[in-house]
Structure 1
Amino acid sequence: MTHATGGLSKGKTMTNDPAALALHWAQTGRKVALATVIATWGSAPRGVGSQLVIDADGAMEGSVSGGCVEGAVVLAAMDAITAGQHAILEFGVSDDAAFAVGLACGGQIKVLVQPVGDGLTIKTLQALAEARATARPIGLTTDLATGISRVITAADAPERFRLDRAGLDDDGTFITIQNPPLRMIIVGAVHIAQPLVGMARACGYAPVLIDPRGAFGSDARFPGETILEDWPDEALAALKPDARTAIVTLTHDPKLDDPAIMAALRSDVFYLGCLGSTRTHAKRVARLQAAGFTDADIARIHAPVGLDIGGRQPAEIALSIMAQITQTLRHAR
């Protein structure tokens, strides 16, 4: 049985994805430009890669500065649409303006404005939309001299994709990254899972709980969460974990944990963490070796799970797990 959380409406999804909205507006006949933060200094209100979509009448969605310079960007975008030329804008965000959006001091931002046309084509925006729909990583590289964008893959900029890091390269190009959403699959709807799902969601993961024991994975204990009341190997076969997926096993029961661990080791998950003591893990290792897994396979497992921060309470253990997952994702492998 599956308890699924409600998804965003199509309108909200587009609002949260200015590139998708730019495509939609352009396909409906509106003249559109896309503004992207390409560099920041100091306490800039929005990070590199933040976007704002604008049409020829000044309608806009998204943000490049939290409200500080949106008006100026909109006017520049309308001019760029009329001229059919990209523009690069630089703004110094004053202390007063920065304070108004919750910052302690000012900063600077550089914004690329691209009309949808020759440089940023509808075909390119369609490629971004198709990649998002199929959960494929994709990126854009833009020549700042010409304003021409082209699609790239993770093989073209592996470190940027791994770190989800847009930015300027030394050759005068700007790279923006669109990765599939991060997922965390938690096997065992136990007490540690309760704070862990909230931390996962706060860190940008879509959490999924797997536990065939209905009393554990109940809506009362995990309100609004996605809970699969299936055996872990069956659930993971349907979920198809990939390189943007972390898996955590928490049941302490080999009948539940082992099938999940074996499925994870046969996949490209970037993190696999398993609850249990050193002695428990030694027994786990013996079972995996008997099942034919190599030492290199088994070395992928983080066990005992989590960073050693001395935590004892469920929330502290969950914090140590979330920290280790973050460390594994963001550090070079």
Structure 2
Amino acid sequence: MHSLDLEVLQRASQWLAQGQRVHLFTLIRTWGSAPRLPGAILVVREDGHLLGSVSGGCIEDDLADKAKHGQLPGTPAIIEYGVSRDEAQRFGIPCGGQLQIFVEPLQQPQQLAPMIDALLTRKLLRRSIRLSNGDIRLGEALPGSQPVLEGDWFHSVFGPQWRLLIIGANQLGATLASMAQALDFDVLICDPREEMRAEWHVEGATWLAGMPDDVVLELAPDAHTAIVAVTHDPKLDDMALLEALKCEAFYVGALGSRRNQEKRQERLRLFELTETEISRLRGPVGLPIGSRTPAEIAVAILAELIQLRAQQRDAASASAQCTARFEHACGQASETLLQGRACNI
């Protein structure tokens, strides 16, 4: 399964190539409770067909109705929902929440090409649009950057999808692969055993041929990657872990009891791994919810991944904001210094 954002943008590109009129909506900010995070996107076709989401559903219905009646703006604009309590209740926004949404009319598929390319190549892209005339600027984005309005400009961010590499095509691996896709993980599976490959039937997961250590090396996991070894065979799981613990993956875990994890750590110490690298290993995998069956264990693992993914996203966002404030302060200081020099001339 591709990233939900990628699916949305590719479908919009297809509509535009067919001569359809399309509007792209991006969630900028929320106040109070809101079901989607800033950066969520939605595309609506002129006949009301839509893909994506910026709310729980009622706002999407309203935007689709506006599209069918030609009531959407013809130039980039900002729209808000839930300004009043009555409107919040009418559109099903919980706890009197408020949504601020950027709307952009699209004319040609080429407008979406840079965002689609960024998602496919796992690069961070900052796309800036000027509200007054629709000018577009493209540049690199900082990790953790969020959509923001800055004067007459709206800056949006597109980047790598979260992905999950599963070592082991057993029942747990299959259940985990199916569930993870619903959570917008790009799922990759590795198992060198031919009999496991022959019985694999989970759609949407990408099969990576080869031995686990070679697969991890070739994948070059980044900070948007999680790796979970579930074969319960030390010969396979340990091979993957030897390389996974040295990479940038935000999560590296292996199935097994606490006693098995202690034995695994002792085996890993026989190789060229530092104590810091070994300490990154999570196990037993998943949050402690009393799971026993493959489905319950998969839920526990994904719950832990969601928790860590949110923590990493929040930390990256805070870091990006600090960097932006520092750069802004440096810019102001430079401007002040230049003005002072001009006065002394």
**Could you tell me the TM-score, scaled by structure 1's length?**
0.71
State whether residues 8 and 43 of structure 2, in contact with CA within 8 Å, keep that contact through their aligned partners in structure 1: no
Kindly provide the amino acid, as one letter, of the partner of residue 67 in structure 1. Answer: D
Secondary structure of residue in 2 paired with 1:216: helix
Identity of aligned residues (%): 32
1:159 maps to which of 134, 137, 144: 144
Asked if 1:17 corresponds to 2:18, the answer is: no
Q: What residue is the counterpart of 1:131 in the other structure?
A: 118
Q: What residue is the counterpart of 1:36 in the other structure?
A: 26
Q: What residue is the counterpart of 2:77 in the other structure?
A: 87
State whether residues 22 and 43 of structure 2, in contact with CA within 8 Å, keep that contact through their aligned partners in structure 1: no
Q: Using the alignment, how far apart are the partners of 2:6 and 2:258 within structure 1?
A: 47
Q: Using the alignment, how far apart are the partners of 1:228 and 1:45 within structure 2?
A: 35
State whether residues 172 and 298 of structure 2, in contact with CA within 8 Å, keep that contact through their aligned partners in structure 1: yes
State whether residues 288 and 300 of structure 2, in contact with CA within 8 Å, keep that contact through their aligned partners in structure 1: yes
Measured against aligned partners, the alpha-carbon deviations of 1:142-173 in whole angstroms (never above 9, x if no partner) come to 56677655334342xx334xxxxx44468786
Q: Using the alignment, how far apart are the partners of 1:233 and 1:148 within structure 2?
A: 47
Given the superposition, is the C-alpha separation of residues 237 and 44 from structure 1 closer, same or farther in structure 2, using an over 3 Å criterion? closer
Q: Using the alignment, how far apart are the partners of 1:253 and 1:44 within structure 2?
A: 44
Q: What residue is the counterpart of 1:267 in the other structure?
A: 247
State the Cα distance separating 1:306 from its structure 2 match: 1.7
Kindly provide the amino acid, as one letter, of the partner of residue 159 in structure 1. Answer: G
Equivalenced residue count is 302
Kindly provide the amino acid, as one letter, of the partner of residue 169 in structure 2. Answer: A
Q: What residue is the counterpart of 1:245 in the other structure?
A: 225
Structure 2: give runs of 5+ residues left out of the alignment: 316-345
Q: Using the alignment, how far apart are the partners of 2:193 and 2:275 within structure 1?
A: 32
Q: Using the alignment, how far apart are the partners of 2:20 and 2:299 within structure 1?
A: 47
Structure 1: give runs of 5+ residues left out of the alignment: 1-6, 161-165
Of 60-69 and 195-204, deviating more is: 60-69
Alpha-carbon RMSD across the aligned residues, in angstroms, is: 3.9
**Could you tell me the TM-score, scaled by structure 2's length?**
0.69
State the Cα distance separating 1:323 from its structure 2 match: 1.3
Given the superposition, is the C-alpha separation of residues 198 and 227 from structure 1 closer, same or farther in structure 2, using an over 3 Å criterion? same
Given the superposition, is the C-alpha separation of residues 296 and 148 from structure 1 closer, same or farther in structure 2, using an over 3 Å criterion? farther
Q: What residue is the counterpart of 2:289 in the other structure?
A: 309
Measured against aligned partners, the alpha-carbon deviations of 1:178-223 in whole angstroms (never above 9, x if no partner) come to 222222111122332232122211211122222222333443x644
Given the superposition, is the C-alpha separation of residues 47 and 147 from structure 1 closer, same or farther in structure 2, using an over 3 Å criterion? farther
Higher helix share: 2
Q: What residue is the counterpart of 2:174 in the other structure?
A: 194
2:64 maps to which of 55, 70, 78: 70
Q: What residue is the counterpart of 1:4 in the other structure?
A: none
